[in-house]
Amino acid sequence: MEKDLSNYRKSYEKGELLLNNVPENPLELFRNWFVEVDTHFNVDEANAMTISTIGLDGFPKSRVVLLKKYTHEGFIFYTNYKSEKGKAIDANPNVCLSFFWHSAERQVIIKGKAEKIAENLSDGYFESRPRGSQLGAIVSNQSEVIVDRKELEDKLILLEEKYKGKTIERPKYWGGYIVKPIEIEFWQGRPNRLHDRIRYQLQKDYNWKIERLSP
């Protein structure tokens, strides 16, 4: 079975990205772009991002997770520390995040190092989650092989009874990572495939080197 996709064409014409109008700090540009996309473009879950890690088998692996906070230090998401991605990050904290906002014709690609956030911050976020999501974090031994879905559903029923009327504490194997960027590239689609690409690279003095890349 095969399908030729060579005739799929789209002209990108919704914006521009020029060196003379970008801020010195890429986190400021990310904030501006995120607010614009979330406010003015019809994007479901603008905080959905792809995280790529190097697995214990030596292969890269990408999956979509949800960005839960961005700060002047970096990008925060939550997961099971014992999951495949958690084990990969423990072995090699170098990761890549990417956002693709199709309706805005924009991409952001972030290289950085992931590290666990403080436990009290993970506690605070866990407490803010819906009760079902809290229980889900306990039910799932993320990335482990299971027999069928019923195994999860039966475990959830038991936990609902166990924690009925009780506070659900965050399991120690579940929490947040912050990805502290060393390089961020912003991509704006342009006509004739002459896209705008601006790259920020963190220097030893903690200033950012800004360059335009050929598309």
List Cα–Cα distances, 96 to 33, 79, 85, 123, in angstroms: 19, 16, 12, 25
Helix axes 149-162, 131-139, angle to 10 degrees: 120
Indicate the length of the chain as a whole number: 215
Joined together, the tokens standing for residue 167 give 């506070």
- Nearest Cα to 51, choosing from 102, 12, 92? 92
As a whole number of angstroms, the distance between CA 78 and CA 69 comes to 10
- Other Cβ atoms closer than 10 A to 85: 24
The DSSP-derived string for 44-97 is TTTTEEEEEEE-TTS-EEEEEEE--EE-SS-EEEEEETTSHHHHHHHH--EEEE
Q: Tokens 């809290």 map to which residue?
A: 134
- By the 10 Å C-beta count (0-12 exposed, 13-18 middle, 19+ buried), 196 is classed as buried
Q: Which residues are catalytic?
A: 193
Joined together, the tokens standing for residue 209 give 């080197």
